[in-house]
Amino acid sequence: MTAPALRLTGVGKLFGEFRALDAVDMTVTAGTIHSILGENGAGKTTLMNILYGLYQPEEGQVEVFGKPVSIPSPRAALDHGIGMIHQHFMLVDTLSVVENIVLGLPGQGMRLSLDAHAEKIDALSRHYGFDINLHAPVWTLPMGMRQRVEILKALYREARIIIFDEPTSILAPQEVDGLLQGLRRLREEGKTVILITHKLEEVAAVADRITVMRSGRVVAEQPVAGLEKSDMARLMVGREVALSSYDVERPEPGDVVLDARGIEAANSHGATALKGVSFQIRAGEILGIAGVDGNGQSELAEVLTGMRRPQGGTLTLKGADILALTVDQRRHDAKISYIPEDRHHTGLVLDLPVWQNAALRDFRRPPFSWNGWLKPRRMREIAADWVKRYDVRLRGLDQAVRFLSGGNQQKLIFAREIEAGPTVMVVMQPTKGVDVGAIELIQRAILTARAQGVAVLYISTELEHILAVADRVAVICGGQFTGILPRSEATVERVGSLMAGISETPEAA
Q: Is-cis flag, bond preceding 486, omega within 30?
A: no
Whether 6-237 and 256-335+421-499 share one fold: the answer is yes
CA-nearest of 224, 220, 167, 228 to 433 is: 167
pTM over 0.75: no
Q: How far apart are CA 130 and CA 144, in angstroms?
A: 11
pLDDT reported for residue 508? 46
Which letter does DSSP use for residue 353 in this model? B
What's the pLDDT score for residue 100?
93
Q: Maximum CA pair distance of the chain?
A: 75
Give the pLDDT score at 287.
Answer: 98
Which CATH code for domain 256-335+421-499? 3.40.50.300
Half-sphere exposure of 29 (CA within 13 A, CB side): 12
CATH architecture of 6-237: 3-Layer(aba) Sandwich (3.40)
Asked whether 333 and 321 are in contact (CB, 8 A), the reply is: no
What residue spans define the domains of the chain? Answer: 6-237, 256-335+421-499
What is the rounded CA–CA span in Å between residue 200 and residue 192? Answer: 19
Helix H or strand E segment including 153: helix 143-156
Overall size of the chain counted in residues:
509
pLDDT per residue rounded down to tens, the chain (509 residues): 578 999 999 999 998 877 889 999 999 999 999 999 987 778 888 999 999 999 999 999 999 999 999 999 999 999 999 999 987 788 999 999 999 999 888 765 445 578 888 899 999 988 888 888 999 999 888 777 888 899 999 999 999 999 998 888 767 666 788 889 889 999 999 999 999 987 888 999 999 999 999 889 999 999 999 888 888 888 887 766 555 555 566 778 999 999 999 999 999 888 899 999 999 999 999 999 998 878 999 999 999 999 999 999 999 999 999 999 999 999 999 999 999 988 888 899 999 999 999 999 999 888 999 988 999 999 999 999 999 999 898 889 999 999 887 888 999 999 999 999 999 999 999 987 777 778 888 999 999 999 999 999 999 988 888 999 999 999 999 899 999 999 889 888 888 788 877 666 555 45
Contacts of 208 (CB under 8 A, 6+ apart): 29, 32, 33, 34, 187, 223, 224
